[in-house]
Amino acid sequence: MGFSQVAVLASAQTELRPAWRDAQHIDLISSVVTNVFKGTGLSIDDVDFVIDSGSDVLDGRSISNCGFLGALGAHHKEEARVEEDGLWGALYGVNKIRSRSSSIGLIVAYSKPSESNIDLYWSAMVEPFYQRPVGFGQKAALGIQAQRYLAAHGIKDDALAEIVARRWADAAVGGKVAMGEAPDAAAVLAGTEAAWPLTDLMISRPLDGAVAVLIGSEDVARRTGRPPVFITGMGTSMETHALAERTANKLDSVANATRMALGKAGWSSGAEADVVELSGSSVVGELMALEGMGIAAEGHGADVATSDKVNRSGGALPADPIMATGLIRLAEAAKKLSAPVAAGASAPSKAIVHGTGGVAMQTNCVFTLEV
Amino acid sequence: MFYAPDTAPIDLPTFKSTISLPYTLTPGKAAGTFLAEMPNRRIVASRFADGSVIAPAQDFSPKDGEEPVELVQAPETGELTGFTRVDGVVLGLVKLDGCRNAFVHRILADMADVKVGQRVAAQWSASDEGTSILAIEGFVIAADAPVGEVKPLVGPAEPLGVINYGMALHYDHAYGPYYGRMFDELKENGVVMGVRGSNADEALLPPREIDDITHKRTGTWKACADTGTIRACSLINMEVYGQTRPVPYAYAEIVLDGASTKMIHIIEIDDLEVAKQQIKPGTRVRAVWTKGERKGAVSDIERFEVIEG
C-alpha cells in the first residue's frame, strides 16, 4: 500500500437527470452536502476546508462558486475552486490533508448542462482562429479519434454498441441515472449520427447532478463508523491542445497519470485493480483509457470493457455530469470497496479510478484506492 | 430534501439569460500573418530550427513550445490523416505536403469517397471571407495532385493586430422551489417572501433550503414589508458596460423590514449633492412598484425611494 494518510469517508450524490428543472445549482449542492454526513458521526462543523468543481461557462456566471458558498457549507471556511473535474478537486484535498495542514475535507462537484448549450461550451474550449470557424469541437474531435482507432485496430462499431448497451444496463441497475428503457446494442447502432463513426449513444450523455465526497486523515478515518477506503496513489497528466499532434490511437496522458499513481501505490499494473471506474468521453475514449491504465493491451480495450470489474456503475456514457463525472467514479469505487463482505465471499480490495476533461480527453487524472 | 423526489418535471418555465461578451483577440505574429494572407490565397506555415514545418502557422510548437525560426508558405496540397462527419459536414485532419503536422478543416466530399491517405487540395472560397480561415472553403479530393513544396514566404502581409470577436452564450436557468415561489408571490400577490433562518425569525432573501451560515434547514415562509433600511450604498455617476439605466443613481443594499439579509436595488437621484446628504446607511426607504402587470421578477419593483421625515 502506498501513501495511506487519507481516506474516503463517505459520499452522497443526487440522481443524475437530463434536466433538474425544479432545482437550482444550490439546491443540488446543499442536498449532497447535507446527505454526505449521514452515518459518519461528523458534521459540517468538523470540515476544515471545502473544494468545489464546476464550470463558470456551464453555470452562466463568473466565479460561480462565490454564489454557492452557503450551499457548499463553506461559510467562513477555507474554500477553493477547481475548474476541472471534481477528481482534481479531490487530488487537491488529499494533498492538503497529506501536508497535515487539515484533517477533514469536503469535495463537491456539480453540473447543470441542461441550462446551456453543450456544443457552445465545447466550442468555447477550442482555438478561435483556426478551429472554431471550421466547426471543430468535442464531437468532431471524438469522431476523428474514433475513426482512427477503429481503422487502426480493425474494430467494428457493433463491438462498440455492445459495450455501450452494457453501460446503460448497469446504470439502470444502479438506479441513480434517470433514463427510460436502457437501449440495446441495436438501438445504439440505430441512433442518430453524432460524429461518424459514433452514434449519439456512443458519446457520453451530459446530465445534471451533484456529488459530495468527504475525505479525512487516517486518524479520523479509523474513528468513523465505516471501513476506511484509503487513497494510495494519484497522478495527472495532460495532452497537447493540438489534437493531431497527440500520439494516434492512445492516450499517453492516461498512461502517464497511471504511472504516477501506481508508483505511489506500489502496484505493478492497473490490472491489479478489482474495481475499475473510468470516465470515457466516448466509448472509444473508454477503450483508450483502459489501455492507458494498463488494464488492456493496445487495441484490446474492447476485450476487457465488458468484464465484471469495469465501470459497473455505468460510467460516463449513460451519465456524464460534466465536472462531476470523475468524482462520482471515486465515490462509486469507494462504495464498492467499503461494502461489507458477505459471508465466505471474497471482496474487492483495490480500485483504480479515472477522470478526464477537455476536448477529446485532453487531461486525465488517476487514483488508486485500497482497503 | 432534493435527494430523490418522486417526480421530475422537465417542462417548468426557466429564467432565460444571455451572456454576450465582446472580445478583441490577439492572434500574434504567426496566426496574425496567416489570417492576413488569407485574402492573398497563401497558406502560411512555421518552420522550426530542426527544419520541420507546421501549418497553419503558430508562434510555438504545440509539442515542445519551441519558437519557429521563420514563417514559410505551405503548399495547397496534402493528404488526409483522419476524418469524421458532424451535422452532415465532413471534417478531416489535413497534413499538407512538407509539413509534419495535420490540422482540422472541412472536406468537400461525400463520406463514401473519403479515406485516410487520400490526396486532397485546398479549394479557395468563391465568396469574400476576408481574413478568416474560411477563405479556404475546404479541401477537395485530388487523387492525382502532385506533391507540393514548402517555399519561402515572399513579402509577407502585416500580421493582424487584434480581431474583434463576439461570443454569446444562452442559458435557461431553473428557478428551483424557493426562487420559484418567491417570484410567484411577487407576481401574483405583490409580496416579497423570504424564509426564516434556521434559528431566527428574520427572513433570508432570496429564500433557500439551507441556511448559509448554519447549514441547517431554513424555517417557514415569511412575507417581508416593502419598506426597509439602507445598510450600504454607492452613488453611481459613471457610465459602465452593462448598466440598465442612465446615471446618476444610487445602488443600495437594503434590509427589508422583517428580513435579515440585504437586497440589492436602485434609488433614483435628482440632485447628487442632496443625494449625498440623504442616501446613507440607516436611511429608511420604500419600494416603488412597477406600474402595469407584474412579471414575477425583481424588476416588478422599479426602484426604492427615500421615506421623507
Residue-by-residue DSSP string for A90-103: HHHHHHHHHTTS-S
Set of chain B residues whose Cβ sits within 8 Å of the Cβ of A71? 208, 210, 212
End position of a domain, from candidates A202, A231, A248: A202
* Mean pLDDT within A52-70: 95
Cβ neighbors of B85 (< 8 A, separation 6 or more) are A143, A193, A195, A196, B91, B111
| Residue A154 sits at the chain B interface (C-beta within 8 Å) | no
pLDDT at A190: 97
A·B CB contacts under 8 A: 194
Q: Nearest C-alpha of chain A: how many angstroms from B228? A: 24
State pLDDT tens for residues B115-166. 999 999 999 999 999 999 999 999 999 999 999 999 999 999 999 999 999 9
One domain, residues A358 and A254? yes
- Could you tell me if residue A1 is inside a domain? no
CB A333 within 8 A of CB A213: no
Cβ of A244 and B209 within 8 Å?
no
Cβ of A134 and B106 within 8 Å?
yes
Cβ of A18 and B10 within 8 Å?
yes
Residue-by-residue DSSP string for A123-175: HTTS-TTTTGGGT-SHHHHHHHHHHHHHHHHT--HHHHHHHHHHHHHHHHHHT
Distance CA A31, CA A137 (A): 33
Q: Nearest C-alpha of chain B: how many angstroms from A20? A: 7
pLDDT at A340: 65
- Could you tell me if residue A255 is inside a domain? yes
End position of a domain, from candidates A202, A224, A251: A202
State pLDDT tens for residues A144-174. 999 999 999 999 999 999 999 999 999 999 9
One domain, residues A190 and A102? no
- Could you tell me if residue A108 is inside a domain? yes
Cβ of B12 and A22 within 8 Å?
yes
One domain, residues A76 and A136? no
One domain, residues A154 and A217? no
User: Cell 500574434 identifies what position?
Assistant: B28
Cβ of A144 and B104 within 8 Å?
yes
CA distances from A345 to A174, A273, B47, B104 (A): 21, 17, 63, 52
pLDDT at B240: 86
Which band of pLDDT confidence, cut at 50, 70 and 90, is reported for residue B243?
Answer: confident
In percent, the amount of chain B with pLDDT more than 90 equals 87
State pLDDT tens for residues A251-282. 999 999 999 999 999 999 999 999 999 999 99
The single-letter DSSP state of residue B156 is: P
pLDDT at B8: 57
Which band of pLDDT confidence, cut at 50, 70 and 90, is reported for residue B4?
Answer: very low
* Cell numbers found for residue A139: 464531437
Of chain A residues 264-323, which have a CB less than 8 A from chain B?
none
One domain, residues A98 and A49? yes
What sign for the dihedral angle of Cα A331, A335, A338, A344? Answer: negative
One domain, residues A49 and A173? no
State pLDDT tens for residues B195-221. 999 999 999 999 999 999 999 999 999
In this structure, of A76-90, A176-190, B238-252, the range with the lowest mean pLDDT score is: B238-252
Of the candidates A34, A60, A148, the beta carbon closest to that of B210 is on A34
* Mean pLDDT within A321-334: 98
Domain count, chain A: 2
One domain, residues A249 and A330? yes
- What stretch of H or E contains A32? helix A25-35
Of chain A residues 56-75, which have a CB less than 8 A from chain B?
57, 60, 69-71, 73, 75
pLDDT at A4: 58
In this predicted complex, what is the ipTM?
0.93
Set of chain B residues whose Cβ sits within 8 Å of the Cβ of A242? 62-63, 101, 103
Cβ of A35 and B2 within 8 Å?
no
Cβ of B174 and A21 within 8 Å?
yes
What domain range includes position A274?
6-117+204-370
- What stretch of H or E contains B297? none
Cβ neighbors of A165 (< 8 A, separation 6 or more) are A182, A183, A184, A185, A187, A188
The single-letter DSSP state of residue A319 is: -
CB B204 within 8 A of CB B197: yes
Please report, as a single letter, which amino acid is at residue B164: N
Cβ neighbors of A166 (< 8 A, separation 6 or more) are A305, A306
What sign for the dihedral angle of Cα B186, B189, B192, B198? Answer: negative
Q: Nearest C-alpha of chain A: how many angstroms from B97? A: 15
One domain, residues A247 and A227? yes
Q: What share of chain B is helix, strand, coil (3-state, %, to 5)?
A: 15, 40, 50
pLDDT at B5: 46
Check pLDDT > 50 for residue B6: no
pTM for the predicted model, two decimal places: 0.95
Q: Nearest C-alpha of chain B: how many angstroms from A291? A: 21
Of the candidates A18, A24, A133, the beta carbon closest to that of B176 is on A24
Report the alpha-carbon angle A114-A116-A119, nearest 5: 100
pLDDT at B170: 95
* Mean pLDDT within B255-261: 97
One domain, residues A291 and A301? yes
Distance CA A141, CA A137 (A): 6
pLDDT at A224: 85
Identify the closest residue of chain B to A119 by CA–CA distance.
B169
Report helix, strand or coil for A238: strand
State pLDDT tens for residues B157-194. 999 999 999 999 999 999 998 999 999 999 999 999 99
One domain, residues A108 and A122? no
One domain, residues A95 and A151? no
Average pLDDT of every residue of chain A:
95
Of chain A residues 99-128, which have a CB less than 8 A from chain B?
112, 114-117, 120, 124, 128
CA distances from B45 to A11, A12, A187, B99 (A): 51, 51, 45, 8
Which candidate in A13, A20, A22, A66 is best for mutational testing of the B interface (most B CBs within 10 A)? A22
Q: Is A201 left (phi over 0), alpha (psi -120 to 50) or beta?
A: alpha
End position of a domain, from candidates A157, A185, A202: A202
| Residue A367 sits at the chain B interface (C-beta within 8 Å) | no
Check pLDDT > 90 for residue B242: no
